[in-house]
A and B are shown apart, each in its own frame.
Chain A
């Protein structure tokens, strides 16, 4: 019974359903309303974009921890251009993305050519971008962006702000590339076994490099969304966005397919978002509730998925047969030296 529910693959959906029922009962007047639906959907678009940014390189087995700061970098450029120049704001947007393009290219170079672990390379890039952001503007910049500019993303469309739909389009594109093109398949092969992928003729270095550029650009786009949505730059914006994105991707990776995937990440993101929303209605002043909830949910979801993995492995070891012979007796390496 329990197994048929596929708790491992659909835990986020069950969790989501559980929150909806629970908080609807507890807060029938405020929880399940059109307003909160809009609010939760719109509030999490930036997290969603960043989750996609983190997901792309992760498919190739590469971490990009600089997504939060790429977002900041793009945001500060947009605001600085609007404040200090007469250039059209669209130019600022492009320049902002240009900075991210450069950052992603450098990260890729460091990872692929200098053979630095991506975890460290992008952590270093984060600090360099922090320096860039502080250099451009240590002070908050607000009120510089025109309503016309903001409306490009923030205007209403079918009942929601446009950027919600942009996220949907972006998610569909990333999903399509990852799941329905040879490029995506090759990226997953690179993440799954880089050596085997390379021997199959896949240009694994290019894929990793390219995926870091893509993730920097998508993270820059999160900065663009922020500029439409809020419009203000402040130096503390950015780093705090890393966790929700990473959590959504890892939680999501345990969902649906058993590897990082777009819809798993999106479902995980919104399941957690609704949970947070419900908790905020009940515990209105306790700020610590949110991070506690997010942390516990991530650990529980990933642990649940790993538990199933462990059971599979244990089951496989028991029957005496070829698999055991291979595991113990004549694994390739031993036989070569026998």
Chain B
């Protein structure tokens, strides 16, 4: 039987960075094939090349069902019967299941082009029924459905009309944002697809999902394919070994003297994906938080800084209680937060570098009833100099700067508050190596000046580079603490993959 998909010698280079190097992949017809690897290993790039979002480097080739397939061409992928369910699902929230399916599959139309709603409704019911979800109301807006059902709708949409020429279903981290119970329900859906003989390429961080669902698994590491192996002959430890590999860490963590007093104190923190964690960060200490996506890592800082509401728990800075869901109170207590997702939560797009920088506290420049623009500019100049920000000047639009330089402005904005606690979420995400080093030096410097620093990042090398101590979060709870000389990328990665929400 022909392979549903075969890729050979696929490479993809971004300026200054190889995302994929000579990667092969084959998905047999009717199999569930898992694709795993650490952040930055190239999984996402591979999926995006397949979906036509990225152009591959010349030299690679691919076949779908033995027919040659042009990579980097979305239309060709669609014509070859490759269907995608991306992580964000791509559903239109205020439309119903019926309409979402019809938007892709086409409306059934009658005389004069009117929509035959009854047929569309029947089709949607059948599609959901085939996934074991016949009971959901297909006429309700999909936003009102629970997360697992939304994912199921996206799957139903992707496989609607499967028999007419579809070939491969690509599921990109379908469980990343699902609560635990919903994951079980989604598994049932995938098992049903498997019974129907649908070929699936399944991208995931969660190794237990691989063991539960997949027939074979392909492992990527640092842009290279490491292995393709049957899941049957593999154990958990072996797979982790393939993913993480043996590596020598370039920079090792420094040891932190534990006599300093605790500045940030968090007790019994609940909210989002976080289910009861305690932590302390001491004066001058850099503590890291590691965890796979969905582990709660992405919510801890937000809960502390007031971006997300806490269900329960206390945050105290130097004896001062930080109110729940109140960024002002966090800032007043001495917390400065540099959020992830800079464009959405960090920068104010229509404003200049100066206006973005000074926004965190305008009072020093409000003299005698007037905001002194000249003083603001002087301060901005000094930060531009101090942080080596590359900008035409303080009045340049923030959007005109590169990502790294925008991030430096965000650092300046936080550091000028002279915070007691510095919270950093993905501080160097999407910025180039040079700027990354500079930002790391800034963090070191802040800590040396006594700031208690807490970093949540998916970049394990960054944790190794920066932290005195690393906390590992799994399923919303801290499962391990690694300190000083014990910190290594390998150990962090092993630990964060070790346990999971379902085997725990």
Could you tell me which A residues sit within 8 Å of B by CB distance? 179-182, 184-186, 188-189, 191-193, 195-203, 258-259, 320-326, 328-338
Q: What's the Cα separation between A189 and B360 when bound, in Å?
A: 11
What are 10 of the A-B contact pairs (CB < 8 Å)? A185-B359, A188-B355, A189-B355, A320-B15, A325-B14, A329-B54, A330-B429, A332-B343, A336-B426, A337-B172
Q: Which residues from A are CB-within-8-Å of B404?
A: 322
Given known A180-B370, A192-B351, A324-B15, contact A331–B430 (CB-CB < 8 A): yes
Q: Is the CB of B403 within 8 A of A326?
A: yes
Q: Judge if B493 is at the interface, Cβ distance under 8 Å.
A: no
Q: Is the CB of A200 within 8 A of B360?
A: yes
Min C-beta distance of B345 to chain A, whole Å: 5
Residue of A nearest to B370 (CB): A180
- Bitwise, B323-362 to A at CB < 8 A (1) or not (0) is 0000110111000010111111111111100010011101
Residues of chain B in range 424-448 having any CB-CB distance to chain A below 8 Å: 426, 429-432
Q: Is the CB of B41 within 8 A of A189?
A: no
Q: Is the CB of B340 within 8 A of A336?
A: yes
Q: Is the CB of A196 within 8 A of B347?
A: yes
Q: Is the CB of A322 within 8 A of B458?
A: no
Partner pick for B362 among A182, A196, A197, A338, CB 8 A cutoff = A182
Q: Judge if B39 is at the interface, Cβ distance under 8 Å.
A: yes
Q: Is the CB of B341 within 8 A of A192?
A: no
Residue of B nearest to A333 (CB): B341
Min C-beta distance of B220 to chain A, whole Å: 10
Residues of chain B in range 283-322 having any CB-CB distance to chain A below 8 Å: 293, 298, 305-307
Residue of A nearest to B351 (CB): A192
Q: Judge if B43 is at the interface, Cβ distance under 8 Å.
A: yes
Q: Judge if B176 is at the interface, Cβ distance under 8 Å.
A: yes
Residues of chain B in range 1-55 having any CB-CB distance to chain A below 8 Å: 14-17, 19, 39-45, 48, 53-54
Given known A180-B370, A181-B371, contact A335–B348 (CB-CB < 8 A): no
Q: Is the CB of A197 within 8 A of B366?
A: no
Q: Judge if B402 is at the interface, Cβ distance under 8 Å.
A: yes
Q: What's the Cα separation between A141 and B294 when bound, in Å?
A: 66
Partner pick for B337 among A199, A203, A325, A326, CB 8 A cutoff = A199
Q: What's the Cα separation between A285 and B371 when bound, in Å?
A: 50
10 closest residue pairs by CB, A with B: A182-B362, A192-B348, A338-B44, A201-B331, A193-B348, A330-B430, A201-B328, A192-B350, A329-B14, A322-B402
Q: Is the CB of B44 within 8 A of A189?
A: no
Min C-beta distance of B191 to chain A, whole Å: 24
Q: Is the CB of A189 within 8 A of B327?
A: no
Min C-beta distance of A83 to chain B, whole Å: 43
Q: Is the CB of A199 within 8 A of B44?
A: no
Q: What's the Cα separation between A179 and B352 when bound, in Å?
A: 13
Min C-beta distance of A196 to chain B, whole Å: 5
Partner pick for B370 among A181, A191, A195, A336, CB 8 A cutoff = A181
Residue of A nearest to B417 (CB): A201
Q: Is the CB of A322 within 8 A of B348?
A: no
Q: Which residues from A are CB-within-8-Å of B293?
A: 336-337
Q: Which residues from A are CB-within-8-Å of B44?
A: 334-335, 337-338
Partner pick for B40 among A196, A197, A203, A335, CB 8 A cutoff = A335
Residue of A nearest to B346 (CB): A196
Q: Which residues from B are CB-within-8-Å of A198?
A: 327
Partner pick for A195 among B14, B40, B345, CB 8 A cutoff = B345
Q: Judge if B363 is at the interface, Cβ distance under 8 Å.
A: yes
Q: Which has the most chain B C-beta neighbours within 10 Å: A179, A323, A329?
A: A329
Min C-beta distance of B12 to chain A, whole Å: 9
Q: Is the CB of A335 within 8 A of B430?
A: yes
Q: Is the CB of B366 within 8 A of A182?
A: yes
Q: What's the Cα separation between A218 and B155 when bound, in Å?
A: 53
Given known A181-B366, A198-B327, contact A321–B360 (CB-CB < 8 A): no
Q: Which residues from A are CB-within-8-Å of B348?
A: 188-189, 192-193, 196-197
Partner pick for B15 among A184, A188, A203, A325, CB 8 A cutoff = A325
Q: Which residues from A are CB-within-8-Å of B108?
A: none
Q: Is the CB of A189 within 8 A of B15?
A: no
Q: What's the Cα separation between A321 and B359 when bound, in Å?
A: 29
Q: Is the CB of B43 within 8 A of A338?
A: yes
Residue of B nearest to A326 (CB): B403
Q: Is the CB of A201 within 8 A of B360?
A: yes
Q: Is the CB of B54 within 8 A of A199?
A: no
Q: Is the CB of B43 within 8 A of A332?
A: no
Q: Judge if B109 is at the interface, Cβ distance under 8 Å.
A: no
Q: What's the Cα separation between A324 and B14 when bound, in Å?
A: 9
Residue of B nearest to A258 (CB): B350
Residue of B nearest to A330 (CB): B430
Q: What's the Cα separation between A316 and B298 when bound, in Å?
A: 31
Q: Which residues from A are CB-within-8-Å of B330?
A: 201
Q: Is the CB of A185 within 8 A of B347?
A: no
Q: What's the Cα separation between A195 and B347 when bound, in Å?
A: 10
Q: Which residues from B are CB-within-8-Å of A181?
A: 366, 369-371
Min C-beta distance of B336 to chain A, whole Å: 10
Given known A321-B15, A332-B343, contact A188–B432 (CB-CB < 8 A): no
Q: What's the Cα separation between A337 and B206 when bound, in Å?
A: 12
Q: Is the CB of A335 within 8 A of B39?
A: yes
Given contacts A189-B359, A322-B404, list 9 more A-B pairs with CB under 8 A. A185-B358, A185-B371, A191-B350, A193-B348, A199-B346, A202-B359, A330-B14, A337-B176, A338-B39
- Bitwise, B410-433 to A at CB < 8 A (1) or not (0) is 000100000000000010011110
Min C-beta distance of A254 to chain B, whole Å: 13
Q: Judge if B173 is at the interface, Cβ distance under 8 Å.
A: yes
Q: Judge if B87 is at the interface, Cβ distance under 8 Å.
A: yes
Residues of chain B in range 374-424 having any CB-CB distance to chain A below 8 Å: 402-404, 413
Q: Which residues from A are CB-within-8-Å of B344?
A: 193, 195-196
Min C-beta distance of A260 to chain B, whole Å: 10
Q: Which residues from B are CB-within-8-Å of A336?
A: 39, 293, 298, 340, 426, 429, 458
Q: Which residues from B are CB-within-8-Å of A185?
A: 355, 358-359, 362, 371
Q: Is the CB of A200 within 8 A of B359?
A: yes
Q: Which residues from B are CB-within-8-Å of A338?
A: 39-45
Given known A185-B359, A200-B360, A322-B402, contact A332–B328 (CB-CB < 8 A): no
